[in-house]
Amino acid sequence: MTRMAIEGLTLRLGSRQFCDKLCLDFEPGQIWGVLGPNGSGKTTLLHTLAGLHSPQDGRVWLAERELAQWPVRERAQQLGILLQSDDSSFPAPVRECAMLGRHPHLEPWQWESAEDWARVDEALERVGLSHIAGRDQRLLSGGERQRLKLATLMVQAPGIWLLDEPTNHLDLHHQVQLLEDLTGEVRRQNQLLLMSLHDLNLAARLCDHLVLLYGDGRVEAGPLAELFESDRLSRLYGHPIRALHDGGQCWMVPG
Amino acid sequence: MSRINPLLVLLLLALLLVVSLVVSLGVGSYARGFADLPALLFGSADSLERAVMLELRLPRALSAMVVGAQLSLAGVMMQALLRNPLADPYVLGVSGGASVAALITLILGFSGFWVAAAAFAGAMINVVLVFGLVSRAGDWSPGRLLLTGVVIASGWGAVVSFLLAVSEGQALKSMLFWLMGDFSHVPAPGWHLLVLLVGLLFAWAVARPLNLVVRGALQAQALGVDPRPLRLGLFLVTSLLTASAVTQAGSVGFLGLVVPHMLRLLIGSDHRWLVPGAALGGATLLLAADTLARTVIAPQQLPVGVITAFLGVPLFLWLLNRNEAQR
């Protein structure tokens, strides 16, 4: 299964420095949570890993090849990203929107097969949109739109999943159910997933590794068990956070 | 969104195009009727009627079809390039540049070929200008492109108004006709047909990537489409199509904006259907409009742009409401 690594990565946007000569290995089977305050570079990091942003310095490796060396279409077969914004003012049925995820797997003149449509229907079923598969995408609510983006990513079926704030607009039920379903599947298939999150307890529930972006160039990364402490998280967000223990579980609540 | 089978719509449009062509050839102030059409078109008898048919009516009908297809195709691609449903082929100033050059030649007393040549040159000057400004900034985002094009188009618009204000008499009337789009002096399409074929081939080859580009550059890139060369290609091919259309018939309005939307309402937003559909629909609509333009108040002729709007507005509103009702 594919692995990813970053080597000497420096990310800057305007005058803000997000990380400096950062080196990290992402192994198959791992679920990473990317945490940090607003504007700390979570999106920039994920975009860099997806090849949508060129870093100031350093390299990103996808398998044995540098990310920049991959042809875009082959890269999209390996690696998929859930973007924060994806909107279109043109009408299109939900089912056709989800089918866009199949694009990298089709030859230039090839049309979608019945098997591709079956994948689309399965993905829509998984995110609970089957009943509105024919609806115009412009009429969807924010949460439904987010689930459609997730379904499109499932149709793309990458080996490496990058999710930029996947819980946006999702209700409690869908946050837990969809992301548990997805992370479970990623672990079973020995794939790799990285997602930026704002909900600390959801991160603890789903992830096994964390990247903490402080927003001033400091970065900490490692197994969840080593980093998930109230003092550290309080420093990360610049806000007091208390740990509440309940049996074996630990809950972080803002103080 | 319940829709009609796209293939069926394309076949119907093709049929409608053939019917429009037959009607267009059969009506007019001279050589009327359909019974003699085959003999006039394919026979060998030398007659005035045959000359009218082959040298005036047929070339004009063919030109209307080519221009209609070009403008609708350019509209589809421009809306995808700018990710904006309100974009039309003229939004980046191609017709503005062409108009200024064409009006100047009209003021100078030229006509026919020279006006067309000047219009094409003007359109190309605009393309180079917009292209130069956008590439110098290195930012091919829809916003930047749109703003640059719109500002330059307004500049051309001001020059056009100035030229109209200082002109009078016969020149003014031919200028107004040119601005609204007019087929009364067109020769057969010739190389413009080649431009249409190139445009059609390009648009169809990039049809599936277009479906992604309307979702934004990042999304397209994430799904395996490099948006930069595609956008550049869209810009150049759209400009060429529009320049060619404007060269033949002046700036026929409305078509390039509305035909893409009509087809979206009929067959959906998949560009693999939309591209051939818009070409067929545009050709049919403009041919029908031109037939009306030269017959409604014959022997007087109307500018075809007036008719496209008269036909297009109610047709479009009906389609829009039909879809609202189906939701």
Per-residue pLDDT tens digits for B201-254: 999 999 999 999 999 889 999 999 998 899 999 999 999 999 999 888 888 888
pLDDT score, position B177: 82
Residue found by looking up tokens 């049925």 in the block: A93
Q: Total domain count for chain B?
A: 1
ipTM of the complex: 0.91
Q: Domain for residue B78, yes or no?
A: yes
CA distance A81 to B219: 9
Q: Any chain A CB within 8 A of the CB of B211?
A: yes
CATH number of residue B145's parent domain: 1.10.3470.10
CA distance A128 to A69: 37
pLDDT score, position B323: 64
For B223, the closest of A76, A90, A96 (CB atoms) is: A76
pLDDT score, position B204: 94
With a cut of 70, list the residues of chain B below it in pLDDT.
1-3, 29, 31-32, 45, 323-327
* Residue-range definition of the domain harbouring residue B56: 6-326
pLDDT score, position B324: 64
Q: Which residues of B touch A74 (CB under 8 A)?
A: 224
CATH number of residue A55's parent domain: 3.40.50.300
Six token digits for residue A134: 């024919």
pLDDT score, position A193: 97
Q: Any chain A CB within 8 A of the CB of B225?
A: yes
Number of A–B residue contacts, CB under 8 Å: 81
Give the containing element (helix H, strand E) for A252: strand A249-254
CA distance B211 to A152: 14
pLDDT score, position B317: 83
pLDDT score, position A1: 61
pLDDT score, position A109: 87
With a cut of 50, list the residues of chain A below it in pLDDT.
none
Q: Domain for residue B53, yes or no?
A: yes
For A92, the closest of B208, B209, B269 (CB atoms) is: B269
Q: Total domain count for chain A?
A: 1
Q: How many helices (DSSP H) and strands (DSSP E) are in chain B?
A: 15, 0
Q: Assign residue B139 a region: left if phi > 0, alpha if psi is -120 to 50, beta otherwise?
A: beta
CA distances from A191 to A66, A156, A182, A188, A214 (A): 19, 14, 11, 8, 27
Q: Domain for residue B1, yes or no?
A: no
pLDDT score, position A239: 95
* Residue-range definition of the domain harbouring residue A76: 4-254
Q: Which residues of B touch A51 (CB under 8 A)?
A: 221
